[in-house]
Amino acid sequence: MNRTEAIAKLINPRSIAIVGASAEFHKVNGRPLKHLITKGYKGQILPVNPKYRSIADLPCYPSVDALPVAADLAVVAVPAKDVLPNIEALGRRGVRSVVVFSSGFREMGADGQTMEDALVAKAKSLGMVLCGPNCLGFINAFSNVYATFSQYADGETGPGPIAFVTQSGAFGTAIAALARQRGLGLGYFINTGNEADVSFSELMMAVIEDPRIRVAAGYLEGLSNGRELIELAHRCQVLDKPLVLTKVGRMESGVRAAASHTGALAVTDTVFDAAIRQFGVLRARNEEQMLDMLQALANPRRAVGNGLGIATQSGGAGVMMADRAEEIGLTVPTLSTETQTRLAGVMPAFGAFGNPVDVTGEFVARPELLRDSVVALMDDPNVHVGIVWLQLMHAYVDTLVRIFAEIRDRTNKPLLVCWVAAPSEALQRLRDAEIVVFSAGERAVEAAHALVRCSEFRRRSVSIPRPLDRSSIPDDAKDGLQPTVSAVKWLGDAGIPMAPVMLAKSADEAVKLWQAIGSAVVLKVESPDITHKTDIGGVLLDLNDEVPIRDGFLKLTRTVAEKLPRARLDGVIVQPMVRGELELVMGVKRDPIFGMVVMAGLGGVLVEVLKDVVFRIPPFDTEEAERMLRELRMSALLDGVRGQRGIGRRGVAKMLARLSCWAATAESSLAELDLNPVLVGSTGPIAVDCVMVLKRK
Amino acid sequence: MNRTEAIAKLINPRSIAIVGASAEFHKVNGRPLKHLITKGYKGQILPVNPKYRSIADLPCYPSVDALPVAADLAVVAVPAKDVLPNIEALGRRGVRSVVVFSSGFREMGADGQTMEDALVAKAKSLGMVLCGPNCLGFINAFSNVYATFSQYADGETGPGPIAFVTQSGAFGTAIAALARQRGLGLGYFINTGNEADVSFSELMMAVIEDPRIRVAAGYLEGLSNGRELIELAHRCQVLDKPLVLTKVGRMESGVRAAASHTGALAVTDTVFDAAIRQFGVLRARNEEQMLDMLQALANPRRAVGNGLGIATQSGGAGVMMADRAEEIGLTVPTLSTETQTRLAGVMPAFGAFGNPVDVTGEFVARPELLRDSVVALMDDPNVHVGIVWLQLMHAYVDTLVRIFAEIRDRTNKPLLVCWVAAPSEALQRLRDAEIVVFSAGERAVEAAHALVRCSEFRRRSVSIPRPLDRSSIPDDAKDGLQPTVSAVKWLGDAGIPMAPVMLAKSADEAVKLWQAIGSAVVLKVESPDITHKTDIGGVLLDLNDEVPIRDGFLKLTRTVAEKLPRARLDGVIVQPMVRGELELVMGVKRDPIFGMVVMAGLGGVLVEVLKDVVFRIPPFDTEEAERMLRELRMSALLDGVRGQRGIGRRGVAKMLARLSCWAATAESSLAELDLNPVLVGSTGPIAVDCVMVLKRK
């Protein structure tokens, strides 16, 4: 049984042993048994506890060794110190999937970490997959598997199209309870706890394969393997199932708090955010936005464009929604003449036929007015998702539910109803009719945006370019700062535009190189001990005559001797003087979570203040590089570069894509690369300085 | 009776005539009567309708003229065409305050506008104040005045400390209903409709004087008089009553939609936003955030600093709240050693004693753990407002309500409880105990921020500087573009640092002026017909010798003759060449809503892309100018200017404050002033170009 099979068995077991089972059903170790029995689990339930002969008419086994079968899953609910021996026993008994509730591991500090390491080592040696420790366990609501003590299980947990995996037990339980309040059904509820062995991404990867699951939602506090998450995002894309993630630790203090809370390696949020955006994951900023998105995404209808049609009974609410739509990049299109004519035919004179359409309160008297105007709006070719806003109307629930059902049947576009201060009966009846309903206008707009983003990503070519066949960095290159001439050559070989560099060992050589170049040059000190040449005055610009070049060479060698007497000096780099209209920076770094990461940003003093940089996971193609550049706040500057139309933006995107293909093959050796500045002129971008540091893995 | 007295009578009448009253209580014209009777209005109710002799045992009068008394208030609920004659009759009968429900006025287009203009003219001529038309009317819940047909009146409308004034009927009703759902009591609910006569600000100004009102909330779609709003904000500040506003039309499309919806003059949102921030108004982005803020502000406790203490039973929720706190500028302070010691004494070993404090689920077993740790947290000197986050706990409502009441009594700092997926009983009981409770963590943080901002503003010196005694613009200055020499003189006289300018009529004069200056100069064409000199090549920089200056003069005159042969040429401006390390822009414009507005921003090409500008209403002092500058995204650049420490920022702030004092006196004559660029160097800022356009009001 491989790991994937073991995880599949874990989430859908035909038999469950509960190690440390209690007959006291309110306790942590009694609750799984209670739920399995009362909610009708069809498989075999095998309580293990020497204190009992039987619990609730089920035979109870005195020890793991006494189990009559090798259960598909074991739930371990014993004190921390007893976990390891039980895991050993389970291994002996042939059990390959366990969930460990017990706390007292990594979250308790160094001693706990040692115990957890031992636990993982044991599980691995036994070929066992382990969820937890320090977790609430999980629910597979389709098969009534309640391997959990979460309070969420106390209420109705009817299955539904959502798979929800959470790193937090308490917050995850709250989110699940809120989902239930909104009538959203969870097919799976999984708390991963310490993730000592099985990770968030692995468990989510398993549950999204279930054909009854339509959408995946996750709550994250940290991440130890970014590549796994990217594979998950890919798989969701292939299966056409949206993935919505909420991750806390967006800000510095949050990251700090998250690190101290989970003990997990804190993820750089900007890299995380860029990576999931690149791979089509929707990020919800908090639990409420996550649930708003899930409401829209759990419905099978998808938007085929980004046009939002809005109908309201309040002009102001329409304006508020139009504001929010514009802010997040939806269009609120002007309606076609045909649509406007249709609307004029059904609406009162004092309504508004634009978009938002203001149907006014008049529809109370003439319900068909609401139906006909919304259907006309939805039929408009530029409208891809519709929102109808209304409020109160406690006396008209029957009529309105009927009308919304009629509208639903007359369009195949997604329709979101926003009913503010609605009668609770109305919400339930609309949900029963599979009509998505929200309680606030901006929430509906943000949910519409999730539908649109989801479809936009689906329409994208997900062609990931091939990385280079092999790294252009030679196998025998040593760790540390690389000689500029070598680094420039390796990058140039990979098709990355680099200003040529040559090394002069003497002033005479420098002059000869200048003569060969035939135009103004730059001189830079070259030393394996000097990373930031400018800081020590190690760069001289725009020299174009023999005397200044000769003087320059001497000045640079003197500067190094004075300021950094211990630095080894290899010579002076001679490079043609390049000018550009715009200054960029590009870089590559090895992220502990996501591996290679490519960065691009705008250079110069203003941008040091703005910190206007964007990230992507390599390799990526030119289209992705263009999207990346559009995320820069100063992106418009790229269009200001003269030369062939658009050469600035397109040329920079091409260079970035090439850099990404190079970076993807360099993971085993590259620690960091800085191209700063990259100058963009009328012939395209070119890197004029390069700092490359290797550190073999 | 002056206008203020008439408005005071309008909102608190001892007798109410209902013109067009109906015995059919579900109708628009029957509903006020129903509510006045059933909800126990103590004053005199006077229905007017020739169709009835009596309604609900009240005598009904056939016409306004037949009324036995001049009612304090008349509600007019008749078709649009009948409004004017009834207003005339009410005026004859001595009624001075009316609310007009009837629609069919400005909102219907040009004909409606004409009718509305006639209505206002009539009311004014009769010395009458008029609320509406096209409004739902209002409720004064303290005196059971139900001069409304809003659905909101159908439910419980028990009075409370909030005054809510809304320009939208439908949306306003929804907001009021949502407030009721949250247990927030409205003392006043007022819909202003078309605001043909009495405005939003006037009505709010009246109700905030009621001592039972603790906080004011408004929903806006447009504004015709910004100064009134500023006076309202001032008054709220004096009364120490927070004012919370939600205004739709934040984005361009929203503004467009708002304009088409209300017919009102759309307010430039950036100016509105700056003005209300300047005067301490809290802006809520939507109805949910407004209600979140009101929950916190309706409680009498105020924060005396910006330190947020967070206690949770979920580390993740704590991180999410810390994220949001940092993002919006709250601090989540490290706790004092004393606090940490206290916490260590009460909490389990696996809790977290930092801030956020993670009390873990353990408090279920030991309720005093929650109480003691939260009290310790609240006692920390750097904590000014506290949030306790918990979820579900349906079995522990009694215990938790008791504990929160104990915590409330042991601290006088504001405490916000965030109880996710709470039992509804718990929410009600906490509210009854005057404990503020939220349903989501980020909402609680944003509400805490509202408390903090409110107190910050209260602590500020609200010393508004005196504008200049009189404008430095001479009374006889003509409308249009002003000669540079004059404009620079007027600004210089007002203490605004301006680079000196002199006009040369000939090349000889230009040379003489350069010689007098004694350093490099700039030449610029001077013409009443040329506003943007650079665009036509009318500026020559850095000339420092006789020949280039002579050539330059000729070149500029030739350029004008060629490019703009009809332009009148006054000569060429000669100005010393000024250099700076940073380029800014400053300006003044006359806004149709707010009057004079001062702008500051960063100059140069990058900033054209960023549009990094900020606004203020003049006059303001140096402190306010510093706050203004801090709002620039590129604000940190001001600290990069060398010279005396901080001279950049402080000097620019001083210059802006002076400009504001000058601008405040220029309202009657100034249309627009652009100082672009203002160069900031080691000696402070100086404006080197100036475009001033006058247009007398």
The count of other CB atoms within 10 Å of the CB of residue B41 is 21
User: Does the pLDDT value for residue A256 go beyond 80?
Assistant: no
How confident is the prediction for chain A on average, in pLDDT?
91
Which residues of A are less than 8 Å from B167 in CB distance?
Answer: 316
pLDDT tens-digit readout, A453-465? 998 988 876 667 7
pLDDT digits (tens, 9 = 90+) for B188-227: 999 999 999 999 999 999 999 999 999 999 999 988 899 9
For the stretch A196-226, pLDDT in tens is 999 999 999 999 999 999 999 999 998 889 9
Task: Give residue B52's Cα distance to chain centre.
Answer: 47
Q: What pLDDT, on the 0 to 100 scale, is given for residue B589?
A: 92
Burial class of residue A532 in the structure, from the number of CB atoms within 10 Å of its CB (0-12 exposed, 13-18 middle, 19+ buried): exposed
Residue pLDDT, tens place only, A341-364? 999 888 776 666 789 998 877 777
Share of chain A above pLDDT 90, in %: 79
Q: Is the pLDDT higher at A467 or at A391?
A: A391
* A240 has a pLDDT exceeding 70: yes
With both helix axes pointing from N to C terminus, report the angle between A226-239 and A200-207 in degrees, rounded to the nearest 10. Answer: 10
pLDDT at A254: 53
Instruction: Please name which of A192, A222, A221 lies closest in space to residue A205, comparing C-alpha atoms.
Output: A192
Looking at the DSSP bridge assignments, the partners of residue A54 are: A59
All residues at 6 or more sequence positions from B328 whose CB lies less than 8 Å from its CB, including other chains: B445, B446, B449
> Does A317 contact B633 at a Cβ distance shorter than 8 Å?
no
Neighbour order of strands in the sheet with B521-526:
B502-504, B571-576, B521-526, B539-543
pTM of the model as a whole? 0.92
DSSP assignment of A675-696 equals: EEEEEEETTEEEE--EEEEE--
The phi and psi torsions of A171 (rounded to 5 degrees) equal -70, -40
**Cβ contact, residue pair B174, A421, below 8 Å:** yes
Please write the tens of the pLDDT for every residue from A62-94: 999 999 999 999 999 999 999 999 999 999 999
Q: CB-based contact (8 Å) between A440 and chain B?
A: yes
Percent of chain B with pLDDT over 70: 95
CB distance B350–A103 less than 8 Å? yes
Q: What is the pLDDT at residue A262?
A: 39
Summarize pLDDT for B267-279 with one digit per residue, the tens.
488 899 999 999 9
- Enumerate the residues of chain B whose CB falls inside 8 A of the CB of residue A253: 322-323, 325-326, 332
Exposed / middle / buried, residue B433 (Cβ in 10 Å: 0-12, 13-18, 19+): middle
pLDDT band at A266 (very low <50, low <70, confident <90, very high): very low
- Per the CB < 8 A criterion, the answer to whether A188 and A218 are in contact is no
Closest C-alpha to A99, from A34, A150, A55: A150
pLDDT number for residue B535:
85
pLDDT of residue B257: 52
Determine the pLDDT at residue B607.
65
Q: What is the mean pLDDT of each run of 10 residues along chain B (697 residues)?
A: 93 97 94 96 97 95 96 97 97 97 90 95 96 96 97 92 96 96 96 96 97 97 92 93 92 54 54 93 96 96 95 91 94 93 82 81 81 95 97 90 95 96 92 94 97 89 72 90 96 95 96 96 95 90 95 95 92 94 92 92 74 91 94 84 67 96 92 93 91 92
Q: What is the ipTM of this complex?
A: 0.91
Residue A15: the pLDDT is: 98
Q: Are B189 and B177 in contact (CB under 8 A)?
A: no
- Partners of A107 on chain B (C-beta within 8 Å) are 350
Which amino acid, residue A410? R
What are the tens digits of pLDDT across the range B398-436?
Answer: 999 999 999 999 999 999 999 999 988 999 999 999 999
DSSP A352: B
DSSP secondary structure string for all residues of A470-523: S-SS-TTPPSEEPPHHHHHHHHHHTT--B---EEESSHHHHHHHHHHHTS-EEE
Question: Please, which pLDDT band fits residue A261 given cuts at 50, 70 and 90?
Answer: very low
Residues 343-372 of B with CB under 8 A from A: 349-350, 352, 354, 356, 358, 361
Give tens-digit pLDDT for B117-154. 999 999 999 999 999 999 999 999 999 999 999 999 99
A603-606, long-range: CB within 8 Å, 24+ apart, which pairs?
Answer: A603/A676, A603/A677, A603/A678, A604/B606, A605/B637, A605/B640, A606/B604, A606/B606, A606/B607, A606/B634, A606/B637
Query: CB of B262 within 8 Å of any CB in chain A?
Result: yes
A165 contact B CB<8A: no
Contacts with B178 from chain A: Cβ below 8 Å: 420-421
The 10s digit of each residue's pLDDT in B620-668 is 999 999 999 999 988 888 887 655 556 688 999 999 999 999 999 998 9
Closest residue to A319, CB basis, from B248, B322, B349: B248
What would the two tokens of residue A660 be?
């990404």
Q: How far is A424 from chain B (nearest CA, A)?
A: 12
Q: What is the pLDDT of residue B201?
A: 97
* Angle between helical axes of B200-207 and B226-239 (0-180°, round to 10): 10
Alpha helix (H) ranges present in B393-506? 397-410, 424-432, 441-459, 484-493
Interval A144-190: pLDDT, tens:
999 999 999 999 998 999 999 999 999 999 999 999 999 999 999 99
**Mutation for testing the A interface, residue in B102, B248, B272 having most A CBs under 10 Å:** B248
Widest CA span in chain B: 100
Torsion angles phi and psi, residue B99, rounded to 5: -120, 125
Find which of B180, B289, B323 to mutate to test the A interface (most A CBs within 10 Å of its CB). Answer: B323
Could B356 and A257 be called an inter-chain contact, meaning their C-beta atoms sit closer than 8 Å? Answer: yes
- For B5, the 3-state DSSP assignment is helix
- Residue A169, chain B, CB below 8 Å: the answer is yes
Name the residue among A104, A393, A634 with its Cβ closest to that of B609. A634
Chain B stretch 277-336, residues whose beta carbon is closer than 8 A to a beta carbon of chain A: 285-288, 313-320, 322-327, 332
Chain A positions touching B634 (Cβ under 8 A) are 606, 609-610
Q: What is the largest CA-CA distance in chain A?
A: 100
Cβ contact A251–B637 (<8 Å)? no
Best probe of the A interface among B184, B221, B319, B582, by most A CBs < 10 A, is B319
Encode A27-78 in three state secondary structure. CCCCHHHHHHHHCCCCCEEEEECCCCCEECCEECECCHHHCCCCCCEEEECC
A264: confidence class by pLDDT, cuts 50, 70, 90: very low
